[in-house]
Amino acid sequence: MNITSSHIEEHNKTVKDDHQESLDALAHQLNKRNIDINELVEQAGAFQVAIPSWALGAGGTRFGRFAMGGEPRSLEEKIEDVGLLHALNHSSGAISLHIPWDIPEDTAAVKELADKHNLVFDAVNSNTFQDQEDQEHSYKYGSLSHTKEEVREQAIEHNIEVIKYGKALGSKALTVWLADGSNFPGQQNFGKALRNTEESLHKIYDALPDDWQVLIEYKPYEPNFYSMVIPDWGTSFLLANKLGDQAKTLVDLGHHLPNTNIEQIVAILLMEGKLGGFHFNDSKYGDDDLTAGSLKPYQLFLIFNELIEGTDGPEELRNQIAWMIDASHNVKDPLEDLLQSVEAIQQAYVKALLIDRDKLKDVREENDPAGAQEVLQDAFQTDVRPLLTEARVRHQAAADPIQLYRALGVRKQLIEERGADSVATGL
Ligand code: LRH
Ligand code: MN
Ligand code: MN
């Protein structure tokens, strides 16, 4: 399946007049606020969010999984899927691999295929939360934190191997998420488990190329329901500080207890130069891995407000942080879901760029909370969709990616090519 430039052009022609009308109206509105729409179109067009290789198939729960049909059967087909997304929205120009769910056997060929689709490789993820067939020691009771040295060594080796794959592909970061922890009080010595983890991470850190980062993810519960060795940003931050400058914290939005003030965490990590990356998704209860911005778009906007506040301009912000999605889809077509996720992230980003920063500064100085809310609402309530459409059109992508995806019958064609019950590796 291929999306060609004539597919895009034809589609864009059909929406051209309506789009121009909405864009002019928005430009006029922004002009009155002294905001240059072209500048924002440019920023939106430059923003890229990496797609997780593990979320291109239908997700499931432990109660079942309902096949989507046409799921990618190999890493190559996953790259093709991300290529489709990028052709449609021009904002998904990177892929994040999870190893060994996706092993790039022939790294040169995989890289070449990605190049062909204008994709680069974002952070590579290690997996020490499942046992693999050929593995000597089990991770049932942990990996980098394990009581037994041989298990820790095996997990360290795996991470070093993941770095090697990433190096060959041009990645610049390793993301480590540990499922390590305990299910019952008394099962684990908290201090020892964390100390073991720190020592193991040190060995991984020593194997990092100079221009790489290690991103440490945290999660309060699941799969362990009593304690996790890295349960929160504080523990991740502690480890990142102990490791050194190349270690940072990764914020997965779903990895917080309900109502946690994530935007404040983001601000503090940024202030300390320790915010390394995001796994975007949304959640109502826990690690639901729902479409980014589908439940709490205001929270997403407030996070971007902090990101902009804490960095020196859009370019620095884009380059300083690894932008990745980490979602799962029980009932949606994953490709549609990912298009919606990227769009929601971009909306939050652009809306946060609209915030009148001078005014916000003034109302804060004057201790005027109502005034602050007015400033934020002025930005948040602006419908920036025409601006995002314009960014896509200017980059020869689809004005309305999902509309074109459906009109072309992409899923139907993928089912014809790959079968109705092909299963992608991943979540
Ligand atoms: C854990 C997690 C982590 C894993 C991914 C599959 O919940 O967010 O990032 O690597 O899911
Ligand atoms: Mn994650
Ligand atoms: Mn998760």
Question: What pLDDT, in 10s, does the model give residues 60-92?
Answer: 888 888 888 999 999 999 999 999 999 999 999
Any domain includes 374: no
State how far the Cα of 22 lies from the Cα of 78, in Å rounded to an integer: 35
Residue 427: pLDDT band (50, 70, 90) is confident
11 lines ligand 1 (CB under 6 A): no
Taking all residues of the chain, what is their mean pLDDT, rounded to a whole number?
A: 97
Q: What is the pLDDT of residues 137-165, one digit of tens each?
A: 999 999 999 999 999 999 999 999 999 99
Any domain includes 298: yes
Any domain includes 232: yes
Please report the pLDDT score of residue 149 as a whole number.
98
Q: What ipTM score was computed for the predicted complex, to two decimals?
A: 0.99
State how far the Cα of 93 lies from the Cα of 115, in Å rounded to an integer: 10
* Percent of the chain's residues with pLDDT above 90: 96
Residue 108 in this model has a pLDDT that exceeds 80? yes
Residue 329: pLDDT band (50, 70, 90) is confident
Please report the pLDDT score of residue 309 as a whole number.
96
332 lines ligand 1 (CB under 6 A): no
State how far the Cα of 262 lies from the Cα of 47, in Å rounded to an integer: 22
Residue 345: give its domain's CATH number: 3.20.20.150
CB 253 within 8 A of CB 293: no
Any domain includes 373: no
Please report the pLDDT score of residue 219 as a whole number.
98
- Residue-number span of the structural domain to which 269 is assigned: 48-353
Determine the distance separating the centroid of ligand 3 and the alpha carbon of 256, expressed in angstroms: 10
Determine the distance separating the centroid of ligand 3 and the alpha carbon of 252, expressed in angstroms: 7
Determine the distance separating the centroid of ligand 1 and the alpha carbon of 60, expressed in angstroms: 14
Please report the pLDDT score of residue 62 as a whole number.
84
Residue 426: pLDDT band (50, 70, 90) is confident
Any domain includes 311: yes
Of the candidate ranges 199-203, 228-232, 325-329, the one whose mean pLDDT is the lowest: 325-329
pTM of this structure: 0.98
Q: Tell me how many domains the chain contains.
A: 1
Any domain includes 332: yes
Nearest CA to ligand 1 atom 7: 287
Residue 349 in this model has a pLDDT that exceeds 80? yes
Residue 59 in this model has a pLDDT that exceeds 90? no
Average the pLDDT over 401-414 and give the result.
98
Any domain includes 15: no
CB 214 within 8 A of CB 173: yes
Any domain includes 116: yes
Joined tokens for residue 178: 């540990």
